[in-house]
């Protein structure tokens, strides 16, 4: 494929289609060409950045104000006059050492920097520079950290840090952002209604985005943060209100279910249903028999039996003469559900089939033909179910596992394969009921907050340690018994956050330590889906004894032999995410163990980890998370099942969150100008997704 020209770049251009992207730099008064090398593209994809839009909405994690200092031992930030050319010497083939002189208050000071030869042009083209670095009075030298050209009336500078991987620095990423904005700024339109823009004195969207990346003052930054948070929340709640409006207009069909058949079927199950499972099934039964289509979300804690509830619901639909579809985000989960369904329905004549991307073409043909003829009662699968040639004789019920992993369009596509289709969405993310009602106001909500009675509570341990060495003897003991171990880290590889553990380094260390005695696997988000599935399948089949992974371990995956999880830098994860990760162990008959490692000395982190180590109730943890969530929870929503916002945090920014919800609902349901506004911005709004699709 030929690379796109700069003139072809738009918000949804894929980075893989670009080799370079040029922009005009006003500071240097010249055109700059940014190279998108294969390694840079790979690093960006590991961050989930695939398009120009993604880059623009990947905001800094940290802002640091620099105030001018005197020239003194240690860290300095001074304004100096460039007093010499840059002299560079090369060390080996790829390393360089460069020096130049500045004049600071009548004194000549040497500045040295390494492996940044590209700064030479900027330095020599400048008269004055702000220099940040470490000053050594003995050698009269500053080891450079950063530099920039002063602007009029400027006395400070904000350094920004992005959450990045290796091969990308914040300064390099800022260049890419500049290039992307240069080409797309005219396509970034304001969509917040004028009445709310004026009422809250919100910045225009483009200005908000620019100030978030390149603020010149704390005031600019604060205004941009407030404006963008409102814009994100308002847009989400517009989506939610539109969904609610659409569902209210749906017509349904009462399903004829003989209530006497249900107890007979339930008596064939492996274990007796809990009271909570029975309560939720009764809610579903009443929905199915009602005149309006069911749109119900089941929020269930880890190990509480939500999949069985879904399968019993499919049996009710089967008894009324309709087919069901059960979709899961990955082949592994879909296959797991299929085998569970086969066991559940072994005593009844309900035919279950599995359809994934891995299904053999000839087998697929047979499945599709039988589905059209109504010979298949329950089809379980992945995205393969969405394809146009997958048609049903009488689809009446869809089950969507890990519903947040599928976009609104995908769910709508599946529903349109039948008439009068009822929907049950499953989530393993315990969310406090009040928050769930705000986020999912268009849905009826059921909860199961107690685990199955025969499940052993996972034994959790919090260790104030940088490494797993204190727990290594217990881990080896479990391995010697033939059990498997998960090791989870917040990072894939070393980057700007190099003080934290990373999966690649730990994977290499584990391989070196255990040699051929135990097999070690590696799993992370940037891998291709096929590769991830294969690694996970190999772990399920016991080919790996240890799996080193980031947080991408699938929610719901059952590896009965994996009974130990060790989580590095646990303070970096949100509490609910830690609880979900912990739920991957103890899935069989053996005792499950989870170890939280953290060297953080922050009191909030210590309290948080002590709390999760002492409780296994996901809903209690979610409520605690809601009440105490702090800025240390860097990774709390991306895998948690909650909407993914670029800047806004529904916990910390609850006031803005609540105001935006109220405004969006009023605008959709009570404002006469809504239709005109929506038709104007429909294309932009329809391309937004607040959940990460798989």
Range(s) of the chain covered by CATH 2.40.50.140: 69-154
Pairing of strands 520-523, 546-549: parallel
At 342, give phi and psi (nearest 5°): -60, -40
- Give the C-alpha distances (Å, rounded to integers) separating 596 from 25, 109, 470, 609: 47, 48, 12, 7
pLDDT of residue 643: 74
Share of the chain above pLDDT 70, in %: 91
What is the average per-residue pLDDT within 188-216?
A: 93
Query: How many whole angstroms separate alpha carbon 232 and alpha carbon 215?
Result: 19
Strand, helix or coil for residue 648? coil
User: Which of the four pLDDT bands, split at 50, 70 and 90, describes residue 30?
Assistant: confident
Q: pLDDT averaged over the chain?
A: 86
Q: What is the pLDDT of residues 331-362, one digit of tens each?
A: 888 999 999 999 999 999 999 999 998 899 99
User: Which of the four pLDDT bands, split at 50, 70 and 90, describes residue 688?
Assistant: low
pLDDT of residue 690: 55
DSSP states of 338-399 as a string? HHHHHHHTTTTT--EEEE-TTS-HHHHHHHHHHHHTT--SEEEESGGGGSTT---SSEEEEE
Query: 91: number of CA atoms within 13 Å, CB side?
Result: 8
DSSP state of 116: -
pLDDT of residue 638: 45
Residue with tokens 């690379």: 3
pLDDT of residue 405: 63
Contact 176, 53 (CB under 8 A): no
What CATH architecture does domain 459-615 belong to?
A: 3-Layer(aba) Sandwich (3.40)
Closest alpha carbon to 492 in 513, 456, 523, 464? 523
**Which has more confidence, 156 or 564?**
564
Q: What is the pLDDT of residues 515-573, one digit of tens each?
A: 989 999 999 877 777 888 889 889 989 999 999 998 877 666 788 899 999 999 999 88
170-184 helix and 205-213 helix, angle to the nearest 10 degrees? 160
Lowest mean pLDDT among 83-92, 666-675, 685-694: 685-694
- Give the C-alpha distances (Å, rounded to integers) separating 304 from 242, 277, 686: 32, 8, 35
Above 60 in pLDDT, residue 692? Answer: no
**Which has more confidence, 640 or 420?**
420
113 strand-pairing partners: 98
pTM for the full model? 0.75
**CATH number belonging to the domain at 69-154, selected among 2.40.50.140, 2.30.22.10, 3.40.50.1580, 3.20.20.150:** 2.40.50.140
Query: How many whole angstroms separate alpha carbon 96 and alpha carbon 680?
Result: 54
Q: Residues 542-571, buried b or exposed e (16+ Cβ, 10 A)?
A: eebbbbbbbbbbbbbbbbeebbbbbbbbbb
Above 90 in pLDDT, residue 431? Answer: no
Lowest mean pLDDT among 64-78, 219-233, 293-307, 626-640: 626-640
User: Which of the four pLDDT bands, split at 50, 70 and 90, describes residue 585?
Assistant: very high
Lowest mean pLDDT among 74-88, 229-243, 602-616, 671-685: 671-685
What is the average per-residue pLDDT within 185-207?
A: 92
- Give the C-alpha distances (Å, rounded to integers) separating 570 from 261, 341, 487: 48, 35, 11
Above 60 in pLDDT, residue 474? Answer: yes
Query: How many whole angstroms separate alpha carbon 215 and alpha carbon 408?
Result: 34
Q: What is the pLDDT of residues 239-262, one digit of tens each?
A: 889 888 887 777 767 788 888 889
Lowest mean pLDDT among 90-99, 184-193, 660-669: 90-99
pLDDT of residue 122: 81
Backbone conformation region of residue 641, classed left if phi is above 0, alpha if psi is from -120 to 50, else beta:
left
pLDDT of residue 641: 56
pLDDT of residue 110: 95
Query: How many whole angstroms separate alpha carbon 61 and alpha carbon 161?
Result: 6
- Give the C-alpha distances (Å, rounded to integers) separating 292 from 171, 250, 416, 451: 55, 7, 16, 31
pLDDT of residue 691: 45
pLDDT of residue 580: 86
pLDDT of residue 259: 83
What is the average per-residue pLDDT within 461-485?
A: 94
Query: How many whole angstroms separate alpha carbon 475 and alpha carbon 469?
Result: 10
Above 70 in pLDDT, residue 607? Answer: yes
Residue with tokens 């274990």: 271
Above 60 in pLDDT, residue 680? Answer: yes
Strand ranges for 105-235 from DSSP E: 107-114, 128-136, 141-148, 156-161
What CATH architecture does domain 248-448 belong to?
A: 3-Layer(aba) Sandwich (3.40)
Above 60 in pLDDT, residue 495? Answer: no
Above 60 in pLDDT, residue 133? Answer: yes
pLDDT of residue 693: 42
pLDDT of residue 181: 93
pLDDT of residue 689: 58
pLDDT of residue 636: 43
pLDDT of residue 156: 56
Share of the chain above pLDDT 90, in %: 48
pLDDT of residue 635: 39
Query: How many whole angstroms separate alpha carbon 237 and alpha carbon 657?
Result: 9
Range(s) of the chain covered by CATH 3.40.50.300: 248-448, 459-615
- Give the C-alpha distances (Å, rounded to integers) separating 23 from 28, 32, 55: 11, 5, 15
When computed from its CA atoms, the radius of gyration of the chain, rounded to whole angstroms, is: 28
95 strand-pairing partners: 91
Task: Count how many residues are written for the chain.
Answer: 694
Query: 388: number of CA atoms within 13 Å, CB side?
Result: 0
User: Which of the four pLDDT bands, split at 50, 70 and 90, describes residue 629?
Assistant: low
DSSP state of 214: S
């Amino acid at each position: 494929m030929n690379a796109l020209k700069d003139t072809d770049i738009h918000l949804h251009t894929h980075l893989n289609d670009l080799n370079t992207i040029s922009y005009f730099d006003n500071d240097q008064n010249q055109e700059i060409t940014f190279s998108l090398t294969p390694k840079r593209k790979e690093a960006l994809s590991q961050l989930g950045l695939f398009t120009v839009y993604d880059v623009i909405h990947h905001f800094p994690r940290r802002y640091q104000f620099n105030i001018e200092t005197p020239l003194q031992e240690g860290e300095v930030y001074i304004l100096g006059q460039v007093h010499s050319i840059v002299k560079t010497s090369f060390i080996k083939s790829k390393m360089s050492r460069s020096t130049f002189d500045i004049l600071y208050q009548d004194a000549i000071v040497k500045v040295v920097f390494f492996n940044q030869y590209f700064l030479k042009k900027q330095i020599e083209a400048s008269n004055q520079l702000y220099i940040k670095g470490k000053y050594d009075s003995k050698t009269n030298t500053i080891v450079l950290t950063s530099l920039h050209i002063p602007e009029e009336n400027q006395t400070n500078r904000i350094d920004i840090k992005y959450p990045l991987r290796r091969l990308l620095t914040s300064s390099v990423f800022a260049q890419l952002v500049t290039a992307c904005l240069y080409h797309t700024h005219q396509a970034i339109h304001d969509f917040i209604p004028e009445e709310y823009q004026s009422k809250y004195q919100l910045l225009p969207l483009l200005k908000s985005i620019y100030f978030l990346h390149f603020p010149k003052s704390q005031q600019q930054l604060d205004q941009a943060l407030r404006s963008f948070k409102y814009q994100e929340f308002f847009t989400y709640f517009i989506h939610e209100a539109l969904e609610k409006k659409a569902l209210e207009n749906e017509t349904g069909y009462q399903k004829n279910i003989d209530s006497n058949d249900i107890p007979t079927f339930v008596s064939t199950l492996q274990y007796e249903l809990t009271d909570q499972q029975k309560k939720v099934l009764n809610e579903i039964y009443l929905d199915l028999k009602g005149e309006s289509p069911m749109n119900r979300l089941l929020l269930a804690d880890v190990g509480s039996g939500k999949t069985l509830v879904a399968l019993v619901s499919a049996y009710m639909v089967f008894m009324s003469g309709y087919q069901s579809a059960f979709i899961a985000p990955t082949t592994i989960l879909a296959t797991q559900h299929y085998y569970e369904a086969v066991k559940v329905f072994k005593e009844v004549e309900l035919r279950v089939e599995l359809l994934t991307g891995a299904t053999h073409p000839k087998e697929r043909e047979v499945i599709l033909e039988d589905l059209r003829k109504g010979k298949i009662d329950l089809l379980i699968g992945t995205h393969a179910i969405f394809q146009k040639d997958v048609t049903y004789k009488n689809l009446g019920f869809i089950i969507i596992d890990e519903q947040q992993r599928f976009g609104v369009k995908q769910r709508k596509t599946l529903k349109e394969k039948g008439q009068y289709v009822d929907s049950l969405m499953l989530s393993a993310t315990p969310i406090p009921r009040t928050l769930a009602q705000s986020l999912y106001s268009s849905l009826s909500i059921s909860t199961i907050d107690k685990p199955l009675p025969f499940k052993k509570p996972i034994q959790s341990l919090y260790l104030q340690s940088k490494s797993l060495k204190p727990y290594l003897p217990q881990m080896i003991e479990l391995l010697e018994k033939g059990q498997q171990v998960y090791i989870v880290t917040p990072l894939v590889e070393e980057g700007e956050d190099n003080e934290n553990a990373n999966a690649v380094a730990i994977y290499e260390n584990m391989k070196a330590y255990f040699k051929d005695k135990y097999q070690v696997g590696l799993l992370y988000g940037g891998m291709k889906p096929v590769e991830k599935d294969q690694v996970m399948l190999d772990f399920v089949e016991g080919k790996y004894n240890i799996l080193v992974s980031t947080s991408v371990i699938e929610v719901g995956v059952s590896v009965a032999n994996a009974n130990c999880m060790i989580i590095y830098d646990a303070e970096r994860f949100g509490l609910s995410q830690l609880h979900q990760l912990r739920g991957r162990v103890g899935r069989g008959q053996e005792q499950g163990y989870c170890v939280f490692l953290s060297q953080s000395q922050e009191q909030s982190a210590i309290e948080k980890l002590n709390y999760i180590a002492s409780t296994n109730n996901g809903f209690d943890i979610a409520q605690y998370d809601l009440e105490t969530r702090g800025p240390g929870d860097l990774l709390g929503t991306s895998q948690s099942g909650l909407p993914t916002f670029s800047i806004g945090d529904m916990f910390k920014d609850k006031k803005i969150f609540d105001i935006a919800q109220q405004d969006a609902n009023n605008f959709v349901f009570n404002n006469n100008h809504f239709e005109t506004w929506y038709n104007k911005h429909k294309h932009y709004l329809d391309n937004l997704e607040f959940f990460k699709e798989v």
